[in-house]
Amino acid sequence: QVQLVESGGGVVQAGDSLRLSCAASGGTFSMYHMGWFRQAPGKEREFVAAISRSSTSTYYADSVKGRFTISRDNAKNAVDLQMNSLKPEDTAVYYCAAARLYTVVLAGYDYWGQGTQVTVSS
């Protein structure tokens, strides 16, 4: 059983940057591919970014490509999401998740954190 705890959310202005972190415990972190998802009010949860177990592969949603960067540190059991040039449409609750398979599909993730709120004002 893997426990995930996100941190780093907050209220920022458009154009600002924010770094989200996700701390994992209770399992072998390096065995899992990791992903970030987000859910805006009234919308379905959507894929943001994914990173493979050994960081050899990353994948991004088109909406964040070039602005967001996912990274992980297996020694620290952590995965981060660096978000630059934030836009009001990035406002959402952001979740990190762990998967045994490398996927962008929400249903493919086995463990989820509680989420952290990101609000971008215009």
**pLDDT given at position 1:** 87
Q: What is the rounded CA–CA span in Å between residue 23 and residue 77?
A: 6
Write out pLDDT tens, residues 24-64: 999 899 999 999 999 999 999 999 999 999 999 999 999 99
Contact between 26 and 110 under an 8 Å Cβ cutoff? The reply is no
Residues 6+ apart with CB under 8 A from 44: none
- CB neighbour class for 54 (10 Å; exposed up to 12, middle 13-18, buried from 19): exposed
DSSP, collapsed to helix, strand or coil, labels residue 97 as strand
Write out pLDDT tens, residues 53-70: 999 999 999 999 999 999
